[in-house]
Amino acid sequence: MEAKPIIKSDQRDYLGFGDWETDLAELTIVLPTYNEADNLGPLVHTLEQLGEDLHLVIVDDNSTDGTQQVAQHLSGHFGNVSVIIRQGKLGLGSALRLGMREALATDTSFVMTMDADGSHAPKDVVRLLAVMRRGDAEMVQGSRYVAGGSVLGLSLARRSASRAVNLLYHWWAGAPRESTTNFRIFSRRAASLVVERAKGKDFEFVPEATLLVLAAGLNVCEVPITFARRASGRSKLGPKQFIMGLAALFSYSMQYRLRLGRFARSPAEEE
């Protein structure tokens, strides 16, 4: 059964497909996509086999390779998959923020963000969720840079650049061992403050979210994972995103250290 389209915005700036009444799912997973037709189906099918209480929100940036059709088919096949189709390639950060906002509009207990390219192992969702359920932290993230974490298949240049950026965030801002991971589970309180305060529209959104959670005085827990090279397709991280990421590194770290603006030490409100 194919999903029927539903307009999910008063401004008519994107289309929503699927069941938006999945209000009681414990965990909502936000999956941003752009040209992930080969990766999305296997990922969703594996997530559905975990045996967890899930609601999946796919946010697609007007893919040109058939990802939209794959997403809509998955929405029709499974009863817990919602799809947002946007008008253009608007950036990873804005996709995550939109998906998190839609997740918070339900009664979900936790909100997760995850790459749709196969670099994050679905089996690790269970491990992160188990830590989140303990209630010791309000953001639990998979990290390749804590003891037991690892990286598979990435070039030396890519590994070195990622390691350097994360070390600088750790040294300059006192951030966790990894600030650039998109494999995270947020409490409702942590997700709400990120949606409200974050401004990054692309990859810089991810470390920004880390510092916003820390600035609000919320605990962060890191779980070791293996980060693998994408299953298929080309990376979306190009020279433009890398330069923007470096600019964000210096800007965010300075603002966080000086407690300026949205990085002021202001406690998050209870959800």
pLDDT digits (tens, 9 = 90+) for 157-197: 888 989 999 999 999 999 999 999 999 999 999 999 999 99
Of the chain, the end-to-end C-alpha distance in Å amounts to: 36
pLDDT at 271: 61
Name the nearest CA neighbour of 74 among 51, 110, 113, 43: 43
Q: What angle do CA 253, 236, 209 make, to 5 degrees?
A: 30
pTM (two decimals): 0.90
Higher pLDDT, 241 or 204: 204
Which tokens go with 236?
């979306």
pLDDT of residue 24: 74
pLDDT range class, residue 1, cuts 50, 70, 90: very low
Confidence of residue 266 (pLDDT cuts 50, 70, 90): confident
**Predicted confidence (pLDDT) per residue in 7-31, tens digit:** 344 344 555 555 555 557 999 999 9
Question: 237 vs 155, which has greater pLDDT?
Answer: 155
Average pLDDT over residues 211-238: 87
Give pLDDT, residue 190.
97
pLDDT band at 2, cuts 50/70/90?
very low
Q: What is the mean pLDDT of residues 72-83?
A: 93
Nearest to 176 by CA among 124, 217, 229, 214: 214
Three-state SS for 78?
A: coil
In sequence order, the β-bridge partners of residue 110 are 27, 187
207-236 mean pLDDT: 90
Q: Which of left, alpha, beta for 153 (phi over 0: left; psi -120 to 50: alpha)?
A: left
At 10 the pLDDT is 34
Give me the pLDDT at residue 3, please: 46
pLDDT exceeds cutoff 70 at 238: no
SS3 at position 207: helix
Q: Give me the pLDDT at residue 158, please.
A: 85
